[in-house]
Chain A
Amino acid sequence: MKTSVEDTGMAEGTPDIKEARRMLGKGICIAGVGETEQGIISDRGSFELLTEVTRTTLDDAGLQLSDVDGIVTAFSFVESTLMHSTTLADYMGMKPGYFASVAVGGATAPLMAVQAAMAIDAGLAEVVLCVRGDNTRSGISSSGMIAMAREMSHGAYEAPFGLTTIGGYGLLAQRYMYEHDIPQEALAAVVATQSEHAALKWNAMLRDAVTVEDVMADRWIATPFHAMDCSLVSDGAAAFIVTTEARAKNMKKKPVYITGIGEGFSHQYISEAESVASVRDGLGRAGRRAMEVAGITPQDLDVAEIYDSFSFTPLIALEGFGICGPGEAGDWVMEGNAKLGGKLPMNTHGGLIRQAHLGAMHHIVEAVLQLRGEADDSDKTEFNGGNHQVPGAKLAITNGSGGILAATSALVLSSEPPSAA
């Protein structure tokens, strides 16, 4: 299996693995996480949700707002501002020394972590709040929804043909299924697997476990996707705090280390995607590089929180990352390897298709909870939570993809500090 960046033959040059290891060798870690309820939250606005989750996250780390000297945010579909990070800082009464708003669609959350790590490495901040949330479900106007749908299409040469985001993924998925002879059941198996996990996660929107047959019988949205193959639209927020091992020592929770980072890009518009193989390689580069920086192989992973905008999305990512061979991820999931108790439990929180859609924020939060051994929601009896902890999990991979698998960012997270420090 290809695991080194040099193997990919991509033209963008050889990134300096050593330099990434040097930075992460400072013990860059996630020292606190938080997430609000998810779903339809019509009684709270976007900045209110962001503040609510900041309170939870500070509490998790044992910090005061005044301890935070950097803020990295994303964007809002509801609150119109070109200065999202500083608008939120002002709303919360902060005067951060470092601020940035990251906007690369679904790749945003891992990129926020990378942005925070680089700010810390450059001495611009020591404790960086990374926070994303929105009342997308309740707050967006119908014209805003149409604008969001058009956003992923080329305005002149795709949008006029009635392309939707779902159909854009559908174009790639149908070609993938054609080339590798993948049955519809493989997509449904991803949904069924994640539905079992979401049934245990306290704040998942969809708590009922569904079967492959349920998914197959669901109404079509755009081939090859039934409604249940698609991610949710939700209100809610999540956050994590990035700092150094030295600073985290005095905080409340055991730090989770960022030991690998990687990015990959293959195309912007789906018309421009060269081939299934080139898309797999482009997004796969992110995960392969993150693992190379971390000095691990796919076999070392205990848990995988893989971006799942559609049921198809994690399949091609599993292959791109070298966890499965090309065309093999469908069988791998159908064999039960992605389930809790399987070879590599995947999307143990339910993911975008069962928990909520906040880009890859929840994937990062869930990975951190797994590595802290805190992914057991059995005590959250008011939410009917259950145990979705992978016993003894030490190493996780997580990623996010923006556009139609256009731009991907991946992190390797570890319960232990990087060995090459």
Chain B
Amino acid sequence: MSEKPAYTKPLPDLRPEDAPFWEAMKEHRFILPCDDTGKPFWYPRKYAPGTLSATSWTDAKGTGTVYTYSTHFIGPSKAYKGDPPHIVALVDLDEGPRMMTILVKDEDGYPSLDPEDVAIGMKVQIVFDDVTDEITLPKFTPAA
């Protein structure tokens, strides 16, 4: 296998409170933050939004439904130049929270899903894309 080309697309800002999430992603485990009543929320924060309660992490299934999407013909930086359109989506996870992701084919390199294959309300499941040695991004693909 040849070396992967350097990844030049945006990488997540890393804050101390996010470390458990990215550690889990690296191990291909999907976890969600919960408040002190066990209710999961998104996006992760050290203290729960609204109540500022202590938080913990819980395993999540990585399945959900497309709430909405936008097919991007232009990306946010030069790294997207020449790419086919990419589909940014908001997915309602089965556990409740809504998260942003990108819709891909479950194939080598996770290429973008074709725009005509996307619809609001479609069922999707997580795939783990190891974009660098340190960062694995939660992408979603049509549910099997």
Query: B77 an interface residue at 8 Å Cβ cutoff?
Result: yes
- Mark out the residues of chain B between 71 and 101 whose CB falls within 8 Å of any chain A CB in the assembled complex: 71-78, 80, 86, 88-90, 98-101
Chain B residues near A224 (CB, 8 Å)?
70
Query: A372 an interface residue at 8 Å Cβ cutoff?
Result: no
Give the number of chain B interface residues (Cβ < 8 Å): 38
The reply to whether A171 and B69 form a contact with Cβ atoms under 8 Å apart is yes
Which residues of A line the B interface, CB within 8 A? 142, 146, 149-150, 153-164, 166-168, 170-175, 178, 219-224, 269-272
Chain B residues near A219 (CB, 8 Å)?
73
Which residues of B line the A interface, CB within 8 A? 9-15, 18, 42-44, 67-78, 80, 86, 88-90, 98-102, 115, 120, 135, 137, 139
Chain B residues near A221 (CB, 8 Å)?
73-74
Given A150-B76, A174-B120: A160 and B137 within 8 A (CB)? yes
Nearest neighbor of A142 in chain B, beta-carbon distance = B78
Q: How far is the CA of A59 from the CA of B115 in the complex (A)?
A: 54
The reply to whether B90 and A157 form a contact with Cβ atoms under 8 Å apart is no
Chain A residues near B76 (CB, 8 Å)?
146, 149-150, 153, 159, 162-164
CB contacts between A and B, total, < 8 Å:
110
Taking A160-B12, A163-B100, A170-B70 as given, write out 17 further A-B residue pairs in contact, using a Cβ cutoff of 8 Å, ordered by the A residue number. A142-B78, A159-B12, A159-B13, A160-B135, A161-B88, A161-B101, A161-B137, A162-B9, A162-B102, A167-B70, A167-B88, A174-B70, A221-B73, A221-B74, A270-B90, A271-B43, A272-B43
Query: Would you list the 9 A-B pairs with minimal beta carbon distance, nearest first?
Result: A170-B70, A155-B13, A175-B68, A156-B12, A167-B70, A161-B102, A157-B43, A223-B71, A159-B10
The reply to whether B10 and A164 form a contact with Cβ atoms under 8 Å apart is no
Smallest distance from the beta carbon of A209 to chain B beta carbons, Å? 26
Smallest distance from the beta carbon of A263 to chain B beta carbons, Å? 20
The reply to whether A156 and B137 form a contact with Cβ atoms under 8 Å apart is no
Q: How far is the CA of A19 from the CA of B2 in the complex (A)?
A: 69
Main secondary structure of the interface of B (DSSP, over half): mixed
Given A149-B76, A150-B76, A157-B12: A162 and B86 within 8 A (CB)? yes
Nearest neighbor of B83 in chain A, beta-carbon distance = A162
Chain A residues near B43 (CB, 8 Å)?
154, 156-157, 269, 271-272
Q: How far is the CA of A123 from the CA of B144 in the complex (A)?
A: 66
The reply to whether B99 and A271 form a contact with Cβ atoms under 8 Å apart is yes
- Which of B10, B42, B90 is the one whose CB lies under 8 Å from A160? B10
Can you report 26 A-B residue pairs in the complex whose CB atoms are below 8 A from each other? Answer: A156-B12, A156-B43, A156-B44, A157-B43, A157-B44, A159-B12, A160-B9, A160-B11, A160-B135, A161-B137, A162-B9, A162-B80, A162-B86, A162-B88, A162-B102, A163-B72, A163-B76, A164-B75, A171-B89, A174-B69, A175-B67, A175-B120, A178-B68, A219-B73, A224-B70, A271-B90
Smallest distance from the beta carbon of A358 to chain B beta carbons, Å? 23
- Which of B12, B67, B72 is the one whose CB lies under 8 Å from A162? B72
Smallest distance from the beta carbon of B101 to chain A beta carbons, Å? 6
- Which of A153, A222, A269, A271 is the one whose CB lies under 8 Å from B73? A222
